[in-house]
């Protein structure tokens, strides 16, 4: 049974301390808080009121998406908790940045979109407790807090949704210089362990925290600058998965008991638009999708040859799952199945991505690229090639099989589904059945199905959740072997099939975490929100 009443840690610093929100004891205290709705609402209405005067005015030179520097004067609101009863306030807090003047020109943020830029990567914790300016969110929490992965390599990759790790676009800074209000939320993550050895940041902690942050913003409508009815979420990798989940699951009652236990504000957690880059999501089906996509690339980048028997079995499981979704591709493509998906990816995403890349090159550069990559045919201003040639072009895969629910429980996602003092668990029957750690259980733990539902945006899109985002920006690099191309394509198709607006594209020859068109994203935000700043 999943342990929910974890021991709470009292961590206060800076404005977190000033807000007067101390972590409280678990167990009975949590149960009492969860069961007293009126008291909870009263407490939240006072403790969670945003103090618009508690800020520092900063001046920085910040580059826009084109690389041009601008003098930006902005109000920075240091970290403040977004719940009344945080498990760990160092992570369950947010910072707000509001532009005042850009290159000497006053900025009116009255109706500006609010960009909620999370910096979560690998389902690890993300903290803003020590941030002193915009775009500083990241995995490094307060001194002494864990930030390293206890098991394996983070399957979700590193951050970048806000902080721009690894040279990625710093969307928090770019949004600020575009004139938007920027909110950077911290969140618990899978590696957090208290003194008793209890993991208190595993599923569904991260998505619950992000929902609580949204509720805080909407509860403070009129106090927090910007239009809190126009919240646009962004995230990369695991952060992209959580951004997509935030968009898909808006106002779902499935999270209410978790939010109540934390003392989240009594407000909506629905967001207006979703930005997701290389989302590591649909985890219970990700192993099959990975083998369908990369299974013919039998060698890992480490040189290890992947077990082909496992790969074949997982591909078969993907075919069954894909058929069950009953999705139709964008642009009138038709049914998306294991048999049609390669053609869909080629015609809808891969060839257009290569075409855009080659068209942007000078003639000499294009000629050189084509000479080095003879599998590409360039004719009439369009690039064509086969699926097999594309896979050969990408080459070695990153991960073994299974890629996500590892037989030896070493994957980051195994840790994401840990519970209590148990560091890692299987979350698929296939992973459990082939366990190599000595487990004798015949069935998955009883709480796993609920956790999978809470962590997968596809469940909410399949049901047509009425509180979902209606605007979707989804991006992925064509060389990204951290996940399958079908994961983001299914997400896009599911939203599109519901009638939502979807802007989904791939970056040619780009790897995990790529964001090569942030200027287009910011323009998209202005268009879908109706912002005329």
Residue 16: pLDDT over 80: no
pLDDT band at residue 45 under the 50/70/90 scheme: low
- To the question of pTM greater than 0.85 for the whole model, the response is yes
Note the pLDDT of residue 298. Answer: 87
Tokens (6 digits) for 293: 């996509």
- Radius of gyration, CA atoms only, the chain: 23
Note the pLDDT of residue 46. Answer: 76
Q: Could you read off the pLDDT of 467-508 as tens digits, one per residue?
A: 999 999 999 999 999 999 999 999 999 999 999 999 999 999
Q: In this structure, what is the dihedral angle of CA atoms 221, 223, 228, 234, given to the nearest 10 degrees?
A: -140
Residue 162: pLDDT over 70: no
Q: CA 462, 463, 464, 466 torsion: positive or negative?
A: negative
Residue 154: pLDDT over 80: no
pLDDT average, residue stretch 103-132: 97
Q: What CATH code would you report for 14-279+521-529? A: 3.40.50.1820
Q: Mind giving me the DSSP string for 144-162?
A: T---S-SSSS-TT----SS
Note the pLDDT of residue 160. Answer: 34
Least confident of 133-137, 401-405, 521-525: 133-137
Helix (H, G, I), strand (E, B) or coil at 78: strand
Closest-CA residue to 310 (of 235, 400, 438, 196)? 400
Contact 277, 236 (CB under 8 A): yes
Tokens (6 digits) for 445: 């733990």
pLDDT band at residue 139 under the 50/70/90 scheme: low
Q: Could you read off the pLDDT of 299-347 as tens digits, one per residue?
A: 888 888 999 999 999 999 999 999 999 999 999 999 999 999 999 999 9
Q: Could you read off the pLDDT of 179-210 as tens digits, one per residue?
A: 999 999 999 999 999 999 999 999 999 999 99
Residue 27: pLDDT over 50: no
* Burial (0-12, 13-18, 19+ Cβ within 10 Å), 362: exposed
Helix (H) or strand (E) holding 526: helix 518-529
Contact 251, 469 (CB under 8 A): no
Residue-range domain boundaries for the chain: 14-279+521-529
pLDDT average, residue stretch 518-527: 97
Note the pLDDT of residue 34. Answer: 36
């Amino acid at each position: 049974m999943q342990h929910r009443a974890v021991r709470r840690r009292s961590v206060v610093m800076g404005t977190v301390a000033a807000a007067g929100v101390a972590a409280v004891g678990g167990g009975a205290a949590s149960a009492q808080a969860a069961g007293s709705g009126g008291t909870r609402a009263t407490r939240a209405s006072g403790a969670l009121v945003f103090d618009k005067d508690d800020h520092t005015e900063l001046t920085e030179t910040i580059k826009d998406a084109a690389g041009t520097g601008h003098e930006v004067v902005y109000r920075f609101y240091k970290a403040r908790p977004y719940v009344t009863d945080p498990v760990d306030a160092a992570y369950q807090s947010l910072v707000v940045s509001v532009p005042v003047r850009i290159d000497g020109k006053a900025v009116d943020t009255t109706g500006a979109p609010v960009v909620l830029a999370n910096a979560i990567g690998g389902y690890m914790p993300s903290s803003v407790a020590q941030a002193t300016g915009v775009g500083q969110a990241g995995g490094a929490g307060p001194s002494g807090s864990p930030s390293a992965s206890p098991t394996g390599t983070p399957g979700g990759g590193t951050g970048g949704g806000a902080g721009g790790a690894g040279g990625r676009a710093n969307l928090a800074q770019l949004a600020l210089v575009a004139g938007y209000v920027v909110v950077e939320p911290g969140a618990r993550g899978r590696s957090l362990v208290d003194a008793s050895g209890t993991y208190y940041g595993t599923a569904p902690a991260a998505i619950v925290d992000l929902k609580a942050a949204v509720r805080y913003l909407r509860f403070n409508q009129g106090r927090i600058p910007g239009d809190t009815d126009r919240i646009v979420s962004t995230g990369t990798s695991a952060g992209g998965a959580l951004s997509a989940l935030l968009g898909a699951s808006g106002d779902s009652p499935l999270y209410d008991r978790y939010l109540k236990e934390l003392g989240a504000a009594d407000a909506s957690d629905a967001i207006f638009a979703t930005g997701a880059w290389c989302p590591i999501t649909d985890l219970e089906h990700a192993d099959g999708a990975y083998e369908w996509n990369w299974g013919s690339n039998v060698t890992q980048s480490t040189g290890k040859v992947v077990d082909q028997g496992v790969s074949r079995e997982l591909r078969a499981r993907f075919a069954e799952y894909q058929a069950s979704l009953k999705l139709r591709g964008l642009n009138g493509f038709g049914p998306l199945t294991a048999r049609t998906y390669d053609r869909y990816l080629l015609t809808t995403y891969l060839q257009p991505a290569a075409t855009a890349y080659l068209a942007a090159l000078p003639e000499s550069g294009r000629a050189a690229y084509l000479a080095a990559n003879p599998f590409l045919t360039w004719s009439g201003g369009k690039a064509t090639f086969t699926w097999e040639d594309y896979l050969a072009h990408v080459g070695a895969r990153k991960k073994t099989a299974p890629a996500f629910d590892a037989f030896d429980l070493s994957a980051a996602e195994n840790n994401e589904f840990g519970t209590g003092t148990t560091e890692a668990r299987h979350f698929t029957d296939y992973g459990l059945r082939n366990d190599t750690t000595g487990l004798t259980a015949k069935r998955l733990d009883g709480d796993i199905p609920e956790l999978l539902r809470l962590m997968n945006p596809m469940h909410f899109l399949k049901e047509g959740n009425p509180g979902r985002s209606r605007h979707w920006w989804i991006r992925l690099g064509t060389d990204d072997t951290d996940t399958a191309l079908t994961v983001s394509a299914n997400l896009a198709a599911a939203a599109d099939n519901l009638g939502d607006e979807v802007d989904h594209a791939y970056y040619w020859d780009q790897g995990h975490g790529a964001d090569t068109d942030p200027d287009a994203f910011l323009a998209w935000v202005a268009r879908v929100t109706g912002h005329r700043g």
